[in-house]
Amino acid sequence: MATLASSANPFDIQARPNRLLAQALSCLFFVVCIGLYMHTSASRHRENPEDRVVPNATQLAAGIHASVLEPAEEDDYIPADNASKWERFRHSMIVKDTISSGRRFFIALALLIPAVVLALHIGLFPWFGAGFLRFVLFFDKIVALSLLPILFIVFGIDEWSKIALIVIGVAPTMILDVTNMVKAVPQEQIVKAFTLDANNFDVAYRVVFRQVLPQVINSLRLNLKPMMLFLFAGEMIAASDGLAYRIAIMRRHMGMDVILPYVLWVAFLLFLIDLSLRVLNRRLHPWFQA
């Protein structure tokens, strides 16, 4: 009895919970949240059957149907009555928003590549370090969102201001992070490469860059969230499409039935990108440990 009590003690660091119980426990808070939601929804619907703040299952299903199979309100496209599900899905609100947000996201991601290359040079070539490091350090401290008005004035309120916001927001941190990784590569490796008759670019790209690439990808994985954050900030303030634009619009008429699926969809997308980067990293760099 005493052993059971001690092994069930939640504050026992040396406890060995049984596997099944641990699995069940990991689901606990999901269940609690869903239960609370359903309870709130049911009680609010008893008072007001039209309640929109905590939509019930039927309302949510309708919201999901509207976002996945209906075109957006502002679109001119009207699906033919006999249009197939795929046809409807292709022109749906969520697909349109995902594509326009995704485009911004991936263009920004592509623009981070030169930033990483610059960081490699800053960390490795003393002249680059002398020229850029202090500037980047300064730039890193500027709150990117405070630049948003300037970006709107410079780039206009269309695509490029939002992409610029993401890049400006994430690039300095990435650069400093990668610079540190490059500096952490043991000097022995660089010296060894030079004794093997490598030239400067061999050392930079075929020795150092190859070694830090898995860490760079991991750093990028951590930066996915800030990137998404800047994208959403830009889209909520000035956009005519995009995932965050839709969420902001729906707020105006309390469209929780659409907002909730959108929030979960964004989380799922982010999870997918993160997972694919992780798998890519493991495939490309079998030698990399933790």
Partner 1 sequence: MVSGMSTPMAKTPLQALNSAAATAVVAAGPAADPHGAIEIRNVGVSYQLAKSTGVKKNARRTVLEDISLTIEPGEFVVLLGETGCGKSTLLRMILGQERPTSGEIRIGGSPVTRVDARSGYVPQKYSLFPDRTVLGNLTMGPETSKYHILGRLLPGFRAFRREVREEAYRQLNHMGLQRSDAHKYPHQLSGGMQQRVAIAQALMMKNRVLLMDEAFSALDPATRASLQRLLRSVWCEARPTVVFVTHNTAEALFLGTRVIVLARTGREDHCGSRVALDMQLPTSGMSLRGNGQEFLDLVDHIEHFSRGDRATAADPELEAALEPDSPAVSTDGDPL
Write out the residues near partner 1 by the rule CB under 8 A: 186-189, 191-199, 201-202, 205-207, 210-211, 285-289
Nearest distance, CB of residue 196 and partner 1, angstroms: 4
Nearest distance, CB of residue 117 and partner 1, angstroms: 14
Nearest distance, CB of residue 187 and partner 1, angstroms: 7
- Is the Cβ of residue 41 or residue 215 nearer to partner 1 in the bound state? 215
- Is the Cβ of residue 191 or residue 275 nearer to partner 1 in the bound state? 191
- Is the Cβ of residue 193 or residue 258 nearer to partner 1 in the bound state? 193
- Dihedral sign from CA coordinates of 261, 267, 270, 276: negative
Nearest distance, CB of residue 180 and partner 1, angstroms: 18
- Is the Cβ of residue 49 or residue 186 nearer to partner 1 in the bound state? 186
Nearest distance, CB of residue 284 and partner 1, angstroms: 10
- Is the Cβ of residue 203 or residue 259 nearer to partner 1 in the bound state? 203
